[in-house]
Amino acid sequence: MQPDRPLDYYINRLFSQLDKAEFATEMEVQRTYRQLAGDLIYKLTPTVSFRNGTLRLRFSAAALRHEMMMRRESLRLKINSELHGDVVKKIVIV
């Protein structure tokens, strides 16, 4: 820490790094979902978002939505296995 820089400078740097880490995690979860789901299912998933441990998925086909509701716990476990940790706490399908 340099004495000529105000504390606000370091606080702002810390928050910007946290935002980047959260963004990186979101991108990793989305990438892993795409890899596991495959291109066709990914194309039928117009909304894939991840925040605070919750993966939100929206599907354009009702039958696919129903199928994914049944398989969401299995998908959560597979994503966490790929990411080597308990990143995704729950999956919400809308």
Q: For the segment 11-20, what is each residue's pLDDT rounded down to a tens digit?
A: 777 666 666 6
- CB burial of residue 37 (10 Å; 0-12, 13-18, 19+): buried
Query: What's the pLDDT tens digit per position in 75-85?
Result: 999 999 998 88
How large is the average pLDDT for residues 59-74? 96
Which letter does DSSP use for residue 89 in this model? -
If you write DSSP's letter for every residue of 36-62 in order, what string do you get?
HH-HHHHHT--EEEEETTEEEEE-SSH
How large is the average pLDDT for residues 84-92? 93
pLDDT at residue 44 above 70?
Answer: yes
Question: What span, in angstroms and rounded, lies between the C-alpha atoms of 28 and 66?
Answer: 25
**CB 33, CB 79: distance < 8 Å:** yes
How large is the average pLDDT for residues 62-74? 96
Tokens of 57: 């998925």
What is the pTM (predicted TM-score) of this model? Answer: 0.76
